Structure 1
C-alpha cells in the first residue's frame, strides 16, 4: 500500500508539472523568435487528426471491453495513450513557436466557442491524473479499481478529444 501511495504521489506531481508547464506555455510564454518554417502552421491540423484518432481508439477500446475482447481493448487503449502523447508533443511544439491562438469569431459562435474551450481546458486538466491512474491500475492488474476510474476517465478523455477537433474546426472556420 505504501508503494501505491508513492505511485499516486508521483502521478499527482507529474500531473501538476504538466499542467503548470502547459499553463505557462500558453498564457505567459511568447512565441519563439526563431522562424520554424511553414511546418509549424500544419501542427493544429495534425493535432486535430491525433485527437480524432484518440477518440476513435477510445470508442474502439470501449467496444472491445464490452465484448470481452481484453487483449484488443488493451491494444486500443495503449494506442489511444500513444496518440494522446503524440498530440501533447505536437501541441507543445506548436505553442512554443506560435504562442497563444486568438479567436477572432464574432456573433453567436463566440460564446459557443469559449464554452467549448473552457470545458475542454478544465476537463483536460482533470484528464491527466485520471489517465495515468487508470493506466497504472490496469498495469498492476487492480481491475476493480481500474474499472471505477475508467468509468470516469473514459467520458472525460473522449470529450476532450472530440472537443479538441471541434475547437480546431471552429478556429479554422471563423479565424
Structure 2
C-alpha cells in the first residue's frame, strides 16, 4: 500500500497538471471551430446547472453527516464529485471550442464581476487538491483526518460551485 506521503505527492502533481492545463486552455489556446453547431453555446448553461447540482449535493451531504446519516452523506458526496467531474469535462469542451470569455459590461457590475471571478478562480485552484485529499482520506477510512480537511474543502467547494452559477448569471444579464 502506498504511503500517505506518496499519495499526497501524486495528488499535488495531478492537481498542478490539471490547473496548468486549464490555464493554457483558457488563456493561450485559440478556440477551435465548430461550424454552425450551436451546442457549444449551450455548455455555459449546462455548467451552471452542474455547479448548482454540486452545491445542492454538498449542502445536503453536509446536513446528512451532521444528522449522522453516513450512507446518505457518502452518496451525496459521490454525487457532488460526479457532477463536479462532469462540469470539468463540459468546461474543458466549451473552452476548447470557445476560448476565453470576455466580460464587456461597464459600470458597477464590472468590479463586482471581477471580484467574484478572481476569488472563484483562486479558490478553484485550491479546491482541486483539497477534494482529492478529502476523498482519499474518506476512502482509506482515515475519518479524523478526513473531517479536518473537509472543514476547509466544504466551504471552498461550495463557494466555487455557487459563484460558478453566479458568474453564468452575471454574464447572461450584463454581457
Same fold (TM over 0.5): yes
SS of residue matched to 2:3:
helix
Work out whether residues 124 and 157 of structure 1, in 8 Å CA contact, stay in contact via their aligned partners in 2: yes
What's 2:107 paired with? Answer: 107
Aligned mates of 1:162, 1:2 — CA distance in 2: 35
What's 2:17 paired with? Answer: 17
Q: Aligned Cα RMSD in Å? A: 1.1
Alignment of structure 1 residues 27-38 onto 2, 5 Å = 27-35=27-35, 37-38=37-38
Mean CA deviation greater in 35-44 or 135-144: 35-44
What's 2:163 paired with? Answer: 163
Work out whether residues 61 and 77 of structure 1, in 8 Å CA contact, stay in contact via their aligned partners in 2: yes
What's 2:131 paired with? Answer: 131
User: Under a length normalisation based on structure 1, what TM-score does the superposition of the two structures give?
Assistant: 0.98
Alignment of structure 1 residues 67-86 onto 2, 5 Å = 67-86=67-86
Q: CA deviation at 1:34?
A: 3.9
- Mark the runs of 5 or more structure 2 residues left unpaired by the alignment: none
**Structure 1 ranges of 4+ moved more than 4 A:** none
Q: CA deviation at 1:5?
A: 1.1
What's 1:147 paired with? Answer: 147
Aligned mates of 2:2, 2:85 — CA distance in 1: 28
Aligned mates of 2:63, 2:46 — CA distance in 1: 26
User: Under a length normalisation based on structure 2, what TM-score does the superposition of the two structures give?
Assistant: 0.98
